Amino acid sequence: MKPALPAIALITSIIAAQAHADVEACMVDTWIADMGDIAAMMAAQMQGAATPVNGEVSMQIAADGSFTLLADDMIINVQMPDVPAMDVKVVGYSAGQMDASDNTFLAAVDDYSLVGSADVLGQTMEIPFSSDTGLGGGGIGWFECAGDTLRFEATVGGVASTNRMPRMWRRR
């Protein structure tokens, strides 16, 4: 019996599609993060209060699911218990691949260079970030894309910190 060549072609196309997932058409664009929402994420991570001061975070999402997140002189004023208020500055980018369909997403980062710093009592301190814990480090959960807004919510662990993608975005 001769092997079915169409079945082999089908399996090959399925494997290729999984290696290069697409995102829903409404996500393809340049998005600007809501800085108040990023401040709220940072406040939760640092167990304090945070207020946006300057800069922006943008994300370019391509039809093939590749994305680049850029922090452009983002400054958040952070106030933690028993620590003087400080301005935390974040610059750099993260890049990776997103699989997003049927209102669920998985964002995996393969290039991460976000760097944080803060002036504390006159000295600049580096703040270590990684894609495992930091802003723009990916995530898994559900998303909603409606008109000029895009929203990501984590579902793994049910805790906001498991979602390192900023939650609220508006179309540029």
Domains of the chain, by residue range, sit at 21-34+56-74+82-171
pLDDT at position 85 over 70: yes
pLDDT at position 13 over 80: no
Contact 112, 133 (CB under 8 A): no
- What element of type H or E holds 25? none
Q: Which DSSP letter does residue 48 get?
A: S
pLDDT at position 158 over 90: no
pLDDT computed for residue 97 by the predictor: 97
pLDDT computed for residue 65 by the predictor: 97
Q: Which DSSP letter does residue 41 get?
A: H
- What element of type H or E holds 152? strand 149-154
Q: Which DSSP letter does residue 26 get?
A: G
Characterize the bridge pairing of strands 49-61 and 139-146. Answer: unpaired
Banded model confidence at residue 49, pLDDT cuts 50, 70, 90: very high
According to DSSP, the residues that pair with 75 across neighbouring strands are 54, 89
Q: Which of 10-19, 110-119, 137-146 has the lowest mean pLDDT?
A: 10-19
Percent of the chain with pLDDT over 70: 83
Q: Which of 59, 36, 128, 121 is nearest to 84 (CA)?
A: 121
What does the alpha-carbon distance between residue 45 and residue 42 come to, in Å, rounded to a whole number? Answer: 5
Contact 121, 84 (CB under 8 A): yes
pLDDT computed for residue 38 by the predictor: 93
pLDDT at position 42 over 90: no
pLDDT computed for residue 12 by the predictor: 37
The model's pTM is: 0.81
